[in-house]
Structure 1
Amino acid sequence: MPASRSAVPAPMLAMPGRPPIGTGWAVEMKWDGARTVAVCDGERCRLYSRNSKDVSGVYPELTLALSAVSRGRPMVVDGEIVAPDPRSGAPVFARLQSRIHVAKPTAALIRTIPVEFYAFDLLALDGAPTTRLPYLERRRRLVDLSMSGPLVRTPPHWVGTDTKILLDLARDHGLEGIVCKRTDSVYQPGRRSPAWIKTALRKSTEAVIAGWLPGTGVHRATFGSLVLGAHDDDGRLVHIGNLGTGFTTAGRRALWERLDELERPSDPFDVIPPAPVVRAARWAEPVLVGDVEYREFTGDSLRHPSWKGLRPDKEPDEILVPPLP
């Protein structure tokens, strides 16, 4: 039987920041994929997204691969589903977009866009929770499980290695950055904890799509740019800028079709956005979350934002205003 949503641990989250100074930290690479918890009951494995939705049918090949490497032992594993670039091997979220929305992928799609599961934490083993164990002990037990196969990997972690060297290594291999974790930290499901610190080489954030500005020219039939929002410290949905680049033609069309269905007569913001936006925008129910790269956040808007894709694994209510430089 599939696990109930309440029985699936919410992943522990990292806080953004610079790599910490001092001892007592381990470092992992930051993977550009979809955070996923694998729950294996001894007979089969099921996959759950960051918001505890069952996505086993989206990645049937991974459920089989995880069942094989778990060797019949009940376990709960935290990890990331990635779609590696066929040339560099680096995970590319844009490739994963071709899989993440397909509830029942065809054999052809599975062959064309192969995915892998990267396991990096152990939350339970043989029916006993491991979340109260320190990080290094959880990692030791995970490594001892030898969870490796054609579609499953346990990526390395480093202790005592200069974070600058590891950031350079991430940059050289086209990865997102690094995540530093306290070696003595327990696993705190659903909490964004300072015991884990993520350092991105490229700034990225999630944003709520609140509407769009009409397109012109070649984009006349769809939209020119998206109107983005996020929640401030008081929980209010506020405007954080507009975004018009980074879309493929097909991606723009597909997103437009969804926005057209979500149109509403008034803006969804709790704080009135800038007047030029109010005058020109058409509004949408704030239910879609997008992944965005940007140069910097000024406090009022994102500079040079670029679209990466939709994030169905993120809930609009949890999307926060990005930190200031």
Structure 2
Amino acid sequence: MLATAAPTGGIPRDGDRWAYEVKWDGMRVLADVRAGAVTLLSRTGRDVTGTFPEFARLGEVHADVLLDGEIVALAEGVPSFEALGERMHIRDARSAALAARALPVTLMAFDVLRLYGVDLVDRPWQERRDALDRLTPSGDAWLVSPVYPDAEVLLAATEEQGLEGVVAKRRGSRYQPGRRSPDWVKHAHRRTQSAAVVGWRPVEGSTTRMGALLLAVPDAAGVLRYAGRAGSGLTAGMEADLRRALRGSEVATPPLPGIPRVDAAGATFCEPGVVVDVRHLGRTTAGRLRQPTLRGLRADLGLADLREE
């Protein structure tokens, strides 16, 4: 279940009908625990259990539970997607174990969908939340995301503390797997957009080093449109991850219309499929992202997950 963006008037302010949580800046997962075995699934259904071996401890504490939550990496007490990016793409078991010790992560659980063999999906949010609150978090493997009754106070606090934003949840709502529902409404303090990589331009004076990515975002009809290029934030580590992800996707001509000649000159084009996150300052009249800064590769998202935020 996914949240919809808050309308112009902001998130609902009725604390009797709505509850408020922090919008965590991380990687959404389902943690499925059965008979001591733990399986982690990303939003796209990809098995990422091996990437985060520390969550095997969930199976030592809970016999049967299905948790919905966000994996976060903390940097100076604040969730950092950039820090999490160092963990998201690891597949090798030995490397994953070393990374778990060097850069620990935490699962912030905000919903429980099954407990002791009982399916809770059709239960109201408040009932599911009460069940989640009765569970004992297993040390630093997972924590319960706090709930707050006052939207204004949480909005102000999260902005002051540099957190991503706030999610409002209707207390009487059922869980709708895979759907983006108006029963969950999100407000982000900073503009973030997931975009498809459709090419890259080299650093000036080089033909091999990446200098900027060419990006595309779906419009209201779901058609990919060129959204500009982004080079700020492109680190050596991110470039290495991108090269692995883009290998074999290169094409001879632009994969979509509308890429200006100044951006297309000297570029290497690729079929849309790889997704990155960018922060930006809005859109130009031509639909380009203003001053985009790359945050990292989204291995947990695909083209079907993209929408204009």
TM-score when normalising by structure 1: 0.87
Q: Which residue of 2 aligns with 1:13?
A: 2
Instruction: Give distance in 1, aligned partners of 2:225 and 2:300.
Output: 21
Letter in 2 for 1:14: A
Q: Secondary structure at the match of 1:302?
A: coil
Question: Who is 1:154 aligned against?
Answer: 144
| Aligned residue pair count | 302
Distance 1:190 1:77 in 2: 15
Contiguous gaps of at least 5 residues in structure 2: none
Give how far 1:106 is off.
4.5
Say whether the 8 Å CA contact 1:133–1:186 is kept in structure 2. Answer: yes
User: CA separation of 1:262/1:75 partners in 2, compared to 1, >3 Å: closer, same or farther?
Assistant: same
Q: Secondary structure of the residue that 1:202 maps to in structure 2?
A: coil
Q: Select the residue among 59, 66, 69 that pairs with 2:58.
A: 66
| 1:38 alignment partner in structure 2 | 31
Give 2:255's aligned residue.
268
**Do residues 225 (structure 1) and 212 (structure 2) align?**
yes
Q: Does the residue aligned with 1:303 lie in a helix, a strand or coil?
A: coil
Kindly provide the CA deviation profile for residues 233-286 of structure 1, in whole angstroms up to 9, marking residues without a partner as x: 2221111111110122332344245446431112222x4333433445321121
After TM superposition, give the deviation of residue 167 of structure 1 in Å.
1.6
Residue of structure 2 in register with 1:110 after alignment = 100
RMSD across aligned C-alpha pairs, in angstroms?
Answer: 1.8
1:309 aligns with 2:296: yes
1:190 aligns with 2:182: no
Q: Distance in 2 between matches of 1:118 and 1:130?
A: 19
Larger mean CA deviation between 278-287 and 304-313 belongs to: 278-287
Kindly indicate whether the alpha-carbon contact (under 8 Å) linking 1:69 and 1:149 is maintained by their aligned counterparts in 2.
no
Seen in structure 2, the aligned counterparts of structure 1 residues 125 and 320 have a Cα distance that, compared at 3 Å, is same
Taking a change above 3 Å as real, the CA distance of residues 289 and 196 of structure 1, as seen in their structure-2 partners, is same
Give the SS at the match of 1:286. coil
Q: Is the 2:40–2:48 Cα contact (8 Å) retained in structure 1? A: yes
Say whether the 8 Å CA contact 1:181–1:195 is kept in structure 2: yes
Q: Residue 320 of structure 1 aligns to a residue in which SS?
A: coil
- The aligned amino acid for 2:232 is T
Q: Secondary structure of the equivalent of 1:309?
A: strand
Does the CA-based 8 Å contact 2:51-2:96 persist in structure 1?
Answer: no
Residue 201 of structure 2 corresponds to residue 213 of structure 1: yes
Give the distance between the partners of 2:37 and 2:210, measured in 1 at CA: 44
Cα 1:253/1:57, change in 2 over 3 Å: closer
Structure-2 residue corresponding to 1:248: 235
Partner of 1:9: none
Measured in 2, the distance between the counterparts of 1:257 and 1:156 equals 38
The answer (yes or no) to whether the contact 2:53–2:96 under 8 Å persists in 1 is no
Query: Normalized against structure 2, the TM-score is what?
Result: 0.91
The DSSP-based 3-state class of the residue aligned with 2:99 is: helix
Q: Of 158, 161, 165, which residue of structure 2 is paired with 1:177? A: 165
Percent of paired sites with the same residue: 36
**1:49 maps to which residue?**
42
CA distance in 1, matches of 2:145, 2:138: 10
Contact 1:222–1:256, Cα closer than 8 Å, also in 2:
no
> 1:148 and 1:258, CA in 2 relative to 1: closer, same or farther beyond 3 A?
closer
- 1:222–1:253 contact (8 Å) kept in structure 2: no
Match of 2:153 in 1: 165
Structure 1 residue 16 displacement after superposition: 1.3
Residue 67 of structure 2 corresponds to 77
Whether the 8 Å CA contact 2:211–2:234 is kept in 1: the answer is no
Cα distance in structure 1, aligned partners of 2:108 and 2:245: 31
Q: How far apart in 2 are the matches of 1:150 and 1:233?
A: 41
In the TM superposition, residue 188 of structure 1 has moved relative to its aligned partner by 0.5
1:208–1:289 Cα contact (<8 Å) kept:
yes
Q: Is the Cα–Cα contact under 8 Å of residues 179 and 197 in structure 1 kept in the other structure? A: yes
The 3 A distance-change label for structure 1 pair 43 and 178 is: same
